[in-house]
């Protein structure tokens, strides 16, 4: 009797596997992962021989099985039975990180008290490339343009030593890079300001300098960077209390998506922002320069705070090759150019209060020449603002270097 039951059970299980394969795809589960489902690959002699068809087909099956949402939820449950997570210890998981370039790096994520934090791995060889890129940018700038470098640390750097020490020191990385910069580049100490602000912040306070489950800083965090930059430029920072603090949409953040299966349904975070925009009169224009040198302007009516976008994209609607923001209330012609990653996006709402023009250049998508842009805008100052993890991406440093050529 046993042989009948076992055989029938196994055959039924195989039939069920076939059934989930032919069942309609669970598109909602893919959307929840913020990506598109893999499509059935094209069948041709070429794709067959290269193995592209096989790997494409495997991804297609994985993404398009029926009940995918329930199955992945069950998978997460199974995983949670393998051990426990003491509140004080938190959890370290391995993940990957990319910053919108071709490179993807292995990275650790620390999950602690409802926060997800990237763990930093110092890469001295790439730091050298980063500093060289900045020095090359300096060498193509006219002498009268003041240049600043701001490297922004992330939140794990300010956690208690037992947590912080599980990663490489971001402070050391920033110090090492600053020491390699040419004398005519001024290092901006965002680190010191953030550290002081973090230390004076009550431990259980909800609003922080960084988002809980995103790798970016908040507008409060960016204010520290802004103060540090203003200190070096000799200008007075605006008082953040002059602006109304408003509550934006709920959001989770990009790191949440990576750590989701290791977290127990956390509450979404609220995005708070200081409404600089309604106090002023700003004009935005975006621009892309193509490989052949031709240009296209777009986004003329874009807002600084884009409430149609999720999460950190709220600031400027995300990254663009060039964004030019004019403050119509300032008429002194003062211009700052910023070469940056997305960290600068939350800094911009502060900077626009001190400059008539703020011009942002994103090396990941900007294909033009920095020299031409410098000629066009004649900036008084140029700042390179990046988060410290960019110094571990070799290709980002190359892109940074390329714009100086």
Partner 1 sequence: MVFSSLTFLCVFLPAVLLLYYLSKNITYKNAVLAVSSLIFYAWGEPSFLILLIAASFINFLLAIGIDKFQGRWQSKLILGIAVAFDIIMIGIFKYAAFLTESANLVFRSSFPVPEIGLPLGISFYTFQILSYVVDVYRKDTGVQRSYLKFITFVSMFPQLIAGPIVRYSQVEKSLEKRNVRLNDFADGSRQFVMGLSKKVFLANYCGEAKDLLLGSATHATAGSAWLGIIFYTFQLYFDFSGYSDMAIGMGRMLGFHFPENFNYPYISRSVTEFWRRWHMTLSGFFRDYVYIPLGGNRKWWARNLLIVWALTGLWHGASWNFVIWGLYYGVLLLIEKLFFKWWAKIPVLSNITTMLVVVVGWGIFYFTDFNELKTFFGYLVGYGCQAYDITTISALCANAWLLAACILVSTPLPRAIYEYITSIKYVGVFLECIIMAAMFVGCIAALTGATSNPFLYFRF
Binding site for partner 1 (CB under 8 A): 1-7, 9-10, 13-18, 20-21, 48-51, 54, 57-58, 61-62, 65, 68, 71-72, 74-76, 78-79, 81-86, 89-95, 105-108, 110, 119, 121, 162-163, 165-168, 261
- CB nearer to partner 1: pick between 38 and 197: 38
Q: Residue 107: left if φ>0, alpha if ψ -120 to 50, beta else—which one?
A: beta
Tokens 């495997």 belong to residue: 58
H helices, E strands: number in the chain: 15, 13
Q: Do 350 and 223 contact (CB within 8 A), yes or no?
A: yes
Q: Are 147 and 181 in contact (CB under 8 A)?
A: no
Half-sphere exposure of 111 (CA within 13 A, CB side): 22
Closest CB to partner 1 among 162 and 196?
Answer: 162
Q: To the nearest whole angstrom, how small is the minimum distance from the Cβ of residue 354 to partner 1?
A: 39
Q: How far is CA 219 from the centre of its chain?
A: 14
- Backbone angles phi and psi of 285, in degrees to 5: -145, 140
Give the shortest CB-76-to-partner 1 separation in angstroms: 6
DSSP run (H or E) holding 398: helix 394-402
Q: Which residue, 83 or 234, has its beta carbon nearer to partner 1?
A: 83
CB of 81 to partner 1, least distance (A): 6
Report whether 227 contacts 237 (CB < 8 A): yes
At its nearest, how many Å lie between partner 1 and the CB of residue 160?
10
Residue 117 vs 304, nearer CB to partner 1: 117
CB of 390 to partner 1, least distance (A): 17
Q: How far is CA 12 from CA 4, 8, 76, 89, in A?
A: 12, 6, 25, 44
Residue 299's alpha-carbon distances to 6, 216, 237, in angstroms, are 64, 24, 28
Closer to partner 1 by Cβ: residue 16 or 140: 16
CB of 398 to partner 1, least distance (A): 21
**Minimum distance between the CB of residue 342 and partner 1, rounded to whole angstroms?**
22
Residue whose CB is less far from partner 1, 90 or 311: 90
Nearer CB in complex with partner 1: 81/203? 81
Max CA pair span of the chain: 92
82 Cβ partners below 8 Å, 6+ apart? none
């Amino acid at each position: 009797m046993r042989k009948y039951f076992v055989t029938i059970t196994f055959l039924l299980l195989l039939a069920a596997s076939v059934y989930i394969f032919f069942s309609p795809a669970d598109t909602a589960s893919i959307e929840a992962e913020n990506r598109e489902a893999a499509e059935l690959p094209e069948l041709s002699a070429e794709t067959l021989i290269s193995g592209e068809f096989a790997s494409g087909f495997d991804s297609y099956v994985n993404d398009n099985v029926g009940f995918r949402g329930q199955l992945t939820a069950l998978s997460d449950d199974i995983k949670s039975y393998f051990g426990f997570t003491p509140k004080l210890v938190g959890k370290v998981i391995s993940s990957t990180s990319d910053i919108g370039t071709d490179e993807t790096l292995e990275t650790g994520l620390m999950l602690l008290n409802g926060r997800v934090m990237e763990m930093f791995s110092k890469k001295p060889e790439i730091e050298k490339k980063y500093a060289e890129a900045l020095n090359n940018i300096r060498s193509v700038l006219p002498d009268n343009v003041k240049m600043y470098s701001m490297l922004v640390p992330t939140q794990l750097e300010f956690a208690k030593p037992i947590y912080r020490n599980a990663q490489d020191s971001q402070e050391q990385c920033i110090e090492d890079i600053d020491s390699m910069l040419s004398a005519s580049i001024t290092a901006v100490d965002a680190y010191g300001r953030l550290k002081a602000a973090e230390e004076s912040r009550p431990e259980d306070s909800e609003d922080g300098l960084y988002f809980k489950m995103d790798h970016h800083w908040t507008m409060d965090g960016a204010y520290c960077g802004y103060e540090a930059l203003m200190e070096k430029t000799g200008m007075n920072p605006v008082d953040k209390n002059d602006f109304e603090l408003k509550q934006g949409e709920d959001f989770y953040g990009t790191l949440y998506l990576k750590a989701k299966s290791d977290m127990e349904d956390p509450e979404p975070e609220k995005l708070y922002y200081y409404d600089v925009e309604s106090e002023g009169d700003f004009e935005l224009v975006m621009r892309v320069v193509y490989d052949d040198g031709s240009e296209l302007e777009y986004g003329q009516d874009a807002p600084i705070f884009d409430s149609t976008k999720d999460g950190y994209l709220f600031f400027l609607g995300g990254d663009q090759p060039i964004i030019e923001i004019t403050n119509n209330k300032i008429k002194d012609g003062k211009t700052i150019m910023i070469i940056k990653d997305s960290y600068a996006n939350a800094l911009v709402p502060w900077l626009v209060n001190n400059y008539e023009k703020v011009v942002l250049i994103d090396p990941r998508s900007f294909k033009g020449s920095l020299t031409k842009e410098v000629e066009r805008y004649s900036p008084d100052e140029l700042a390179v603002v990046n988060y410290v993890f960019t110094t571990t991406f070799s290709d980002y440093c190359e892109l940074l270097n390329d714009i100086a050529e």
